Amino acid sequence: MGQPLYERVALIGTGLIGGSIARATKRGGLSGHVSGYAPSAEERARVRTIGFCDSVSDTLADAVQDADLVILCAPVGVLGEVAAQIGPHLKPGATVSDVGSVKMAVVRDVGPHVPAGGH
- Does 119 have pLDDT greater than 60? no
Report the run of H or E that residue 48 belongs to, with start and end.
helix 41-50
Structural domain that includes position 58: 6-113
Beta carbons of 28 and 56 less than 8 angstroms apart: no
**Residue 104 above 80 pLDDT?**
no
* Distance from C-alpha of 8 to C-alpha of 107, rounded to nearest angstrom: 24
**Average pLDDT value for the chain:** 91
Identify whether 40 is part of a domain: yes
What predicted TM-score, i.e. pTM, was given to this entire model?
Answer: 0.89
Q: Give one DSSP letter per residue of 52-113, joined into a string.
A: -SSEEESSHHHHHTT-SEEEE-S-GGGHHHHHHHHGGGPPTT-EEEE--S-SHHHHHHHGGG
CA dist., res. 72 & res. 50, Å (int): 20
In tens, the pLDDT along 12-28 reads 999 999 999 999 999 99
The band of 110, judged by pLDDT with boundaries at 50, 70 and 90, is confident
The pLDDT of residue 73 is above 80:
yes
Residues 46 and 79 sit within 8 Å (Cβ to Cβ): no
In a domain, 119, yes or no: no
- CATH number for the domain including 45? 3.40.50.720
Count up the domains in the chain and report the number: 1
Query: Is residue 1 domain-resident?
Result: no
